[in-house]
Structure 1
């Protein structure tokens, strides 16, 4: 791991590097700070609305302030970035909106990196240039989350520093036609061989040290975890989400992928490139049985009001139960920093054990 680009760019980190995913409505400044303090990279979600007076951007500003305070970041040190990332869902906005409304927040807080996800990866060029130029003074890096080799090549052509290879075991929105990390990550690594200055991060179904060790073997320089942090002490997850996570088992059977979850909730429609993995719920079964979408949507709204767990796409109208197949490996709520330290130690122990097992006496 001596040539790890991520550790070079983010020197406060420890290897193997663990990044907490920028889960909208779940991640926050306290979680991000705790992950970073434990040697990982914490992230704050920026949501999907960069319009003027956006509540998403107002929340981003607030959560970055919280993270900065918890990390004792010197706001007067204009050369040193805040060791936190910002995740943008890019499906609804133009570069002009980010330029006018998001860049002032980034310049004020100077996060170490931004993470793009949600639109056509081939169209990221303008956004990458926008963010890179705005953050040049403090060395801002740009990540892009993809689910195919073609998309990885496309975002590298756009100039990103880090390709986040998200496999189909991931929770939440993902590539509709993605493979699992076991094949996706090494194929992307091979496709990008020779592209100097580009790192690959693995995500999707990774919740413990065994998964981290496997991702490193596949060629990733770090991992991102989402599901493992949903029930952490600092998360904004409500009691229903926590219960669903901690009670789930057999992740491949208890979760399912569908492009219809957003429609059931009344969320903005993602492009056909994307689907979403959620914990199974009655709404999808209703659709499969021929119940009209509008009726399923109305049932969903009623379920939200009545806390009906059988229709658990979301609760409080903002918290999707978008969880990956690794949900069956999450058994307890822990502080975010403890998760990072535990998973990192387990990964190193797994690597050491494998090395010993493969050493010929």
Structure 2
């Protein structure tokens, strides 16, 4: 039986690289696509000229399918649709916050399909996943709260089987997956592919500061913390001085006051880490799976290793015996 993720996206291996701002730029996305997965440019809130530049650079580095991500908020979609019309990226990766509406999906997915683009949607709950499918999405990613960056509300093990039971399009599991054991578990839950983000932060091809890669491979259990609850867009990141300061602000103030005070503290914190290597006041947004990442590796080695271990684990599972 063919893998539907590979068939829909015209890729060799059902692994999608999660879009990460300042991290998944052309060198990383192209490397993932060249290794047989789907590289995704993390350009959701980037200036449109930068988006175009990244698409052109990616095309110079690979002739394989790749994606750009966008955010499913109305004020963002008109402009990015013009870029899509002009640049024709093979795949559109639609990130969504909770509350995704099927009519919004229908409007833009039909437009993107008319440009011959495939559409992937990342959903944080089952209702949003259903609305995305009704709106015409080709593939749905459900992300568990274990993942880095924006935090969802349920575990991957809770979301994936529900999504598989209720959707007809292929389901991709995300959140807490960094090796073949995680991919095998996702397949056992019914997913047809996986998305990984944190593991690619330690990829040789990731154009980020070496301090970030070293912080990822040195992180241990309980190294992450969720900050920004008061903003209604909490994020998971590695504990550091920035996280401590944000946590204190939220503990000592009302929600509204805390949200206001967090803005100047959090502003540009991701860039401070990724570009400047500031591990004290910079945000390093990783998932809970970060302790399993212990070395810097080329993308091809990461992907091939995950596929190899997945096959090995599934073979072991097939021989599991009950008394």
Q: Tell me the equivalent position of 1:86.
A: 68
Secondary structure of 1:309's counterpart equals: coil
2:100 pairs, out of 118, 122, 128, with 122
Pair 1:295–1:199, CA change in 2 (3 A): closer
Aligned partner of 1:257 in structure 2 is 226
Aligned match of 1:309 in 260, 272, 279?
Answer: 279
Check whether the contact 2:109–2:137 (CA below 8 A) recurs between aligned residues: no
Number of the residue aligned with 2:284: 321
- Distance, in Å, in 2 between the alignment partners of 1:66 and 1:153 is 34
Contact 1:122 1:158 in 2 (8 A): no
**Structure 1 CA distance, aligned partners of 2:112 and 2:9?**
19
Question: Could you tell me the TM-score, scaled by structure 1's length?
Answer: 0.77
**How many pairs are equivalent?**
312
Q: Deviation digits for residues 236-282 of structure 1, max 9, x if unmatched? A: 322332222111011xx21122334xx8xxxxx5xx3x421111232
Distance 1:153 1:295 in 2: 36
Helix, strand or coil at the partner of 1:338: helix
1:281-321 deviations in whole A, cap 9, x for unaligned? 3223422553785777666789969976344xx2xxxxx31
Give the conservation status (yes or no) of the 8 Å contact 1:234–1:335: yes
* Structure 1 unaligned residues grouped into runs of 5+: 50-54, 74-81, 264-268, 315-319
Displacement of 1:131 in angstroms is: 4.0
d(CA) in 2 for partners of 1:297, 1:115: 27
Contact 1:128-1:142 within 8 A present in 2 as well: no
2:87 and 2:308 map into 1 onto residues whose CA distance is 31
Q: Output the CA distance in 2 between the equivalents of 1:278 and 1:202.
A: 20
The one-character-per-residue Cα deviations of 1:121-154 (angstroms, maximum 9, x if unpaired) are: 433533543243244353x221111122222222
Deviation (angstroms), 1:112 = 2.3
Shift in Å at residue 44 of structure 1?
0.7
Is 1:163 the counterpart of 2:147 in the alignment? no
1:189 aligns with 2:186: no
Q: Per-residue displacement from partner, 1:154-191 (whole Å, max 9, x unpaired)?
A: 2222221211110010000132xx21111211011112
* 2: CA distance, partners of 1:289 / 1:45: 32
Match of 2:313 among 331, 350, 355: 350
Matched-pair contact (CA < 8 Å) for 1:207–1:227: yes
Runs of at least 5 residues in structure 2 that lack an aligned partner in the other structure:
none
The range that moved more, 240-249 or 288-297, is 288-297
Corresponding residue number in structure 2 for 1:63? 54
3-state SS in 1 of match to 2:77: helix
Counterparts in 2 of 1:211 and 1:114: CA distance versus 1, 3 Å: same
Per-residue deviation at 1:20? 0.5
Q: 1:241 aligns with which of 192, 201, 212?
A: 212
Native 8 Å contact 2:98 2:124 kept in 1: no
Q: CA deviation at 1:221?
A: 0.8
1:335 matched to which residue of 2? 298
Q: 1:277 to 1:128 in 2, by over 3 A?
A: farther
Asked if structure 2 preserves the Cα contact closer than 8 Å seen for 1:88 and 1:115, the reply is: yes
C-alpha separation in 2, matches of 1:123 and 1:298? 31
Query: Match of 2:100, SS?
Result: helix
CA drift of 1:110 comes to: 2.5
Structure-2 residue corresponding to 1:52: none
Alpha-carbon shift at residue 86 of structure 1 (Å): 1.1
